[in-house]
C-alpha cells in the first residue's frame, strides 16, 4: 500500500531538515577546522653530516611552547646520495651538490610562506673531525662549499659547523628521552607534565668514526669536562657524556686490519675475524689515510694487500682487545678505557649502532659484533646483570634516534613563542559549531513534532 500525501510530505520535510542541518554543520565544522589548522606551525631543517653518509631531517612544532621548549615532531627523513661530505675533500663543490636532492624534498614539504622563517643547520660529526685533524685546509674548503650551496636556498641558513663529540652524545640523549616521552608528557587532564628523573634512559651512539655514551649517573660527576647540562621544559638535566673518536665501526675495522698488516711478515694477511674461505685484495694506501690508523705503514703503499679469512673467534676477540688500552684503568672503578673517567653505568640504555653501508661485506659482520660486545662489556662496563637493560634501535616512536632532534629541541628554546590568540580562536570556532549543531537539531525535532501533530488531525 502506497504512502499518503501527508506521509510523503512528512518524509520529505524530515529529509530536507536532515540535509539542511548536516550541510550547515559541515560548513561550520569546515570553518572550525580551518581555525584549528595550526597556521602557526614552525619548521626546522637539520643535516646530519656523518662519516659514511649525510641525512636530512625536517621537524615541526607549534609556536605556542611548553615552558619555553617546542613540542617537536619529525616530518621528513631523507638520506642524501653518495658518501659523507668528508669524502669530497678533493672536490668540495660536490659536497654541496650531494645535499640538493634532500633539500628539494624538504622545500616541497614546507609551505613556501614558511621558507624564510625556517632555520636550517648542518652539523658534521666524526668524519669531518678526522678530516680536520688530517688536513684542516681541506675541511675548511668542504665547509665553505657546503655553506655556499645551502645559503642559496630560500630558508634561513644558520651555518655548517663541526659538532663536538660531547655535543653529539648529549643531544642524542635528549632525542631518545624525548621520543620515549621521558622529558615531557601530555596528561589526560590536558596539561604537560615532567616524568620522574629516575625514568630517564642512557644513550649509546656507535657511528662510523666515533662512539658516544651519555647517561645520568647515580652520583656526582667528578670530571666536569664530561658533564653536559640542559634546561628543557622548565627542568634542568645534568648528564655524563663522552665521545671516543676512532672507535666507530668503520675506523675500528681499519685499525684492526692495519694492526694485522703490521704483524704479518708479508702482504698476505690471515684475518681471524673473516670467515674461513674468504680471500680478497685491496689497495694499501686508503687504509693508512686516516689519522686513526697509527700502525706503521709499509714502505710501498702502492701495492695491494691480500687478505684470507681464518674464522677464529678467539683470535678475533684478542685482536679487537688490542685496540683498547684497558690496563690504563686497572684499579679504578670510575674509568672505562684509555684512562677516560666514567661513572658506573646506570639504568636502561638505547643503542643506535651504525649498520654496514651498501658496500658492506659479510666478512665484517663477525668483527663488528665482537667489537660491540667488547666495547659494551669491557669498555663501558656493562655486566650480565645490566645487559638486559640495553635495547638496540634505529627509531623510537617513528622518529630517528640521533643528535638532530635534540639539537632542534634546544634550538626551539631560542625562538620566541607567539601570542596564544589562535587558541582562543580555536575554542571559539568549536563552540560556535557546537551551538549551531544543537540549534539545528532542536529545530529538526521541533519541526518533526509539529508535523506529527498535524498528521493526527
Q: Is there a catalytic annotation at residue 168?
A: yes
Question: In sequence order, what are the residues at sequence separation of 6 or more whose Cβ sits closer than 8 angstroms to the Cβ of residue 10?
Answer: 451, 452, 455
* Grid cell of 259 as nine digits: 694492526
DSSP 3-state of 144: helix
DSSP 325: -
Could you tell me if residue 111 is left (phi over 0), alpha (psi between -120 and 50 degrees) or otherwise beta?
beta
- In this structure, are residues 65 and 414 in contact, taking their beta carbons and an 8 Å threshold? no
Give backbone dihedrals phi and psi of 210, rounded to 5 degrees, phi first.
Answer: -140, 170
Catalytic residue among 31, 140, 161, 168: 168
Question: In sequence order, what are the residues at sequence separation of 6 or more whose Cβ sits closer than 8 angstroms to the Cβ of residue 132?
Answer: 139, 162
- Label residues 363-372 b or e (16+ Cβ within 10 Å = b): bbebbbebbb
Residue of 178, 180, 172, 181 lying closest to 206 (CA atoms):
172
Question: In sequence order, what are the residues at sequence separation of 6 or more whose Cβ sits closer than 8 angstroms to the Cβ of residue 245?
Answer: 126, 129, 130, 165, 209, 210, 292
Give backbone dihedrals phi and psi of 423, rounded to 5 degrees, phi first.
Answer: -70, -35
* Grid cell of 53 as nine digits: 653518509
- In this structure, are residues 345 and 199 in contact, taking their beta carbons and an 8 Å threshold? no
- Find the Cα–Cα–Cα–Cα dihedral 336, 124, 179, 187, rounded to 10°: 110
DSSP 182: S
Residue of 414, 413, 393 lying closest to 350 (CA atoms):
393
Q: Give the orientation angle of helix 136-151 with respect to helix 126-134, to 10 degrees.
A: 130
**Whole-angstrom Cα distance, residue 163 to residue 194?**
28
- The sheet with strand 268-271 has its strands ordered as 268-271, 304-309, 279-283
- In this structure, are residues 67 and 141 in contact, taking their beta carbons and an 8 Å threshold? no
* Grid cell of 172 as nine digits: 642524542
Q: Classify strands 41-49 and 54-62 as parallel, antiparallel or unpaired.
A: antiparallel
Residue of 320, 323, 346 lying closest to 334 (CA atoms):
346
Question: In sequence order, what are the residues at sequence separation of 6 or more whose Cβ sits closer than 8 angstroms to the Cβ of residue 360?
Answer: none
Catalytic residues: 168
Amino acid at each position: 500500500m502506497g504512502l499518503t500525501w501527508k506521509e510523503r510530505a512528512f518524509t520529505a520535510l524530515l529529509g530536507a531538515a536532515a540535509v539542511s542541518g548536516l550541510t550547515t554543520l559541515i560548513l561550520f565544522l569546515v570553518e572550525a577546522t580551518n581555525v584549528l589548522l595550526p597556521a602557526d606551525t614552525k619548521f626546522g631543517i637539520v643535516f646530519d653530516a656523518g662519516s659514511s653518509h649525510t641525512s636530512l631531517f625536517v621537524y615541526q612544532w607549534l609556536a605556542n611552547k611548553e615552558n619555553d621548549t617546542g613540542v617537536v615532531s619529525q616530518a621528513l627523513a631523507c638520506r642524501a646520495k653518495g658518501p659523507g661530505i668528508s669524502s669530497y675533500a678533493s672536490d668540495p663543490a660536490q659536497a654541496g651538490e650531494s645535499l640538493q636532492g634532500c633539500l628539494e624534498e624538504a622545500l616541497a614539504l614546507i609551505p613556501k610562506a614558511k621558507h624564510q622563517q625556517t632555520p636550517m643547520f648542518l652539523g658534521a660529526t666524526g668524519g669531518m673531525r678526522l678530516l680536520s685533524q688530517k688536513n684542516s685546509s681541506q675541511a675548511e674548503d668542504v665547509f665553505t662549499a657546503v655553506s655556499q650551496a645551502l645559503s642559496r636556498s630560500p630558508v634561513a641558513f644558520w651555518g655548517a659547523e663541526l659538532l663536538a663529540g660531547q655535543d653529539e652524545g648529549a643531544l642524542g640523549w635528549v632525542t631518545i628521552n624525548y621520543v620515549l616521552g621521558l622529558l615531557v608528557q601530555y596528561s589526560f587532564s590536558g596539561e604537560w607534565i615532567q616524568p620522574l628523573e629516575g625514568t630517564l634512559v642512557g644513550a649509546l651512539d656507535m657511528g662510523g668514526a666515533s662512539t658516544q655514551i651519555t647517561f645520568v649517573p647515580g652520583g656526582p660527576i667528578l670530571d666536569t669536562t664530561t658533564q653536559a647540562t640542559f634546561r628543557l621544559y622548565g627542568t634542568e638535566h645534568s648528564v655524563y657524556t663522552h665521545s671516543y673518536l676512532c672507535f666507530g665501526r668503520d675506523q675500528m675495522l681499519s685499525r684492526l686490519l692495519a694492526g694485522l698488516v703490521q704483524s704479518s711478515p708479508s702482504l698476505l694477511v690471515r684475518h681471524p675475524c673473516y670467515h674461513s674461505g674468504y680471500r680478497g685484495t685491496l689497495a694499501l694506501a686508503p687504509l693508512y689515510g686516516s689519522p686513526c690508523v697509527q700502525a706503521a705503514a709499509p714502505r710501498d703503499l702502492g701495492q695491494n694487500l691480500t687478505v684470507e679469512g681464518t674464522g677464529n673467534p678467539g683470535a678475533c676477540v684478542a685482536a679487537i682487545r688490542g685496540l683498547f688500552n684497558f690496563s690504563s684503568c686497572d684499579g679504578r672503578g670510575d674509568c672505562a678505557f684509555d684512562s677516560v673517567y666514567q661513572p658506573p653505568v646506570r639504568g636502561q640504555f638505547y643503542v643506535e649502532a651504525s649498520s654496514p653501508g651498501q658496500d658492506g661485506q659479510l666478512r665484517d659482520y663477525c668483527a663488528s659484533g665482537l667489537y660491540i660486545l667488547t666495547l659494551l662489556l669491557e669498555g663501558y662496563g656493562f655486566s650480565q646483570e645490566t645487559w638486559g637493560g640495553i635495547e638496540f634501535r634505529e627509531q623510537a616512536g617513528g622518529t630517528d634516534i640521533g643528535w638532530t632532534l635534540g639539537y632542534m629541541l634546544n634550538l626551539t628554546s631560542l625562538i620566541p613563542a607567539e601570542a596564544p590568540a589562535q587558541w582562543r580562536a580555536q575554542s571559539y570556532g568549536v563552540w560556535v559549531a557546537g551551538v549551531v549543531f544543537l540549534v539545528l537539531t532542536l529545530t529538526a525535532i521541533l519541526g518533526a513534532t509539529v508535523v506529527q501533530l498535524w498528521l493526527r488531525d
